[in-house]
Amino acid sequence: MAEPNTAAQPSQEFEKVLANSSTDVASFDTHDKTPLQKLQHFLHSSPAAVPLIVLVLSLATFGAILGGKFFSAFTLTLILQQVAIVGIVGAAQTLVILTAGIDLSVGAMMVLSSVIMGQFTFRYGLPPALSVLCGLGVGALCGFINGTLVARMKLPPFIVTLGMWQIVLATNFLYSANETIRAQDISANAPILQFFGQNFRIGSAVFTYGVIAMVLLVALLWYVLNRTAWGRYVYAVGDDPEAAKLAGVNVKGMLVTIYTLSGLICALAGWALIGRIGSVSPTAGQFANIESITAVVIGGISLFGGRGSILGMLFGALIVGVFSLGLRLMGTDPQWTYLLIGLLIIIAVAIDQWIRKVAA
């Protein structure tokens, strides 16, 4: 008697639905991406690429128009000198914006720190080095207050830093009595305050220590943000704070640390500001907050947090410097600079929105 073909007859009721099902191996859509999609993915993985391309094109354009008048070692290093302060403050702004925040008080903290350094030296007779430390401490304290209000009290960064901007600005004018400490007095009695304004030459190129400080600061923060766990936490907090918290990141502690570090960097910019202008002036650097945000946005750092490169911020600051000096050498109305920078800001945000669709 022949045995029944058990392989052909399902033994269980639920197996009957599989009898006529397809036995093909699962396949995936492997069609090639269009060139536009490839570009979109490349820019998503390399956020500093767009500002770098714009910077190179800007240099090439002004170089072609102005020739040797623009393409000289002296002119190019002059651009670096002009953007040094914005670059340092922009580094502070970058850290905050990477967490999906914003700091409108960076310029005010910078100026107050410089005023503290000058007033502590000339009003109270403290050693200049100690006055510098006090100024750095004041900047860090302001940042700590911002971070505590944002992280612990859950207040919106825009509102917190807008309020801090007004408070610090008023404190600056009240404390200094709108008094400027002259460059001659500083150079005679406290030259360390003007340290970042000192320069050295390499051929016809002129570099200030403020430029060196900006470059070293950006390089250090690039390494920290890209090669350390702390840097990965910064991006994680900006991308999705709830997911970061579930992954074990101390989100509140990170925010307080980031805002405190931002305030400290602003104080460093205040020290560099004294070297740049030579004097201690409570009215200097009033637009540093807007200029730093401009550099960050043009640099391709997302205002929504979690994406961007600090190198992009540096490229963004240099783009503004190239446009400003190039148009000035061409003898155009300064308003054209603001018009073009405004267009760049809008275009940069539009490109960021387009790139973010990759991750959507």
Which residue ranges make up each domain of the chain? 50-355
Arithmetic mean of pLDDT, 42-57: 83
Instruction: Specify the higher pLDDT residue, 1 or 278.
Output: 278
Confidence of residue 11 (pLDDT cuts 50, 70, 90): low
- Indicate yes or no: pTM above 0.85: yes
pLDDT at 360: 53
Highest mean pLDDT among 1-10, 20-29, 170-179: 170-179
**Tens-digit pLDDT profile for residues 61-85:** 999 998 888 888 899 999 999 999 9
Residue for token digits 């409108």? 104
Query: Rounded mean pLDDT of 20-27?
Result: 58
- What does each C-alpha distance from 268 to 110, 132, 185, 197, 300 come to in angstroms? 8, 9, 21, 13, 24
Q: Name beta bridge partners: 26.
A: none
- Of residues 339, 347, 81, 108, the one with CA closest to residue 213: 81
- The topology under which CATH files domain 50-355 is ABC transporter involved in vitamin B12 uptake, BtuC (1.10.3470)
- Residues 257-279 have a mean pLDDT of 97
- Going 79 to 92 to 119 to 128, the CA torsion angle's sign is negative
Of the two residues 248 and 350, the one the predictor is more confident about is: 248
* Confidence class for position 209, pLDDT limits 50, 70, 90: very high
Give me the pLDDT at residue 217, please. Answer: 97
Residue 12 has pLDDT above 90, yes or no: no
CA 160 to chain CA mean position, Å: 19
**pLDDT above 90 for 9:** no
Q: Is the pLDDT of residue 297 over 60?
A: yes
Is residue 111's pLDDT more than 80? yes
CA-based R_g, the chain, Å: 27
Q: Mean of the per-residue pLDDT values for the chain?
A: 89
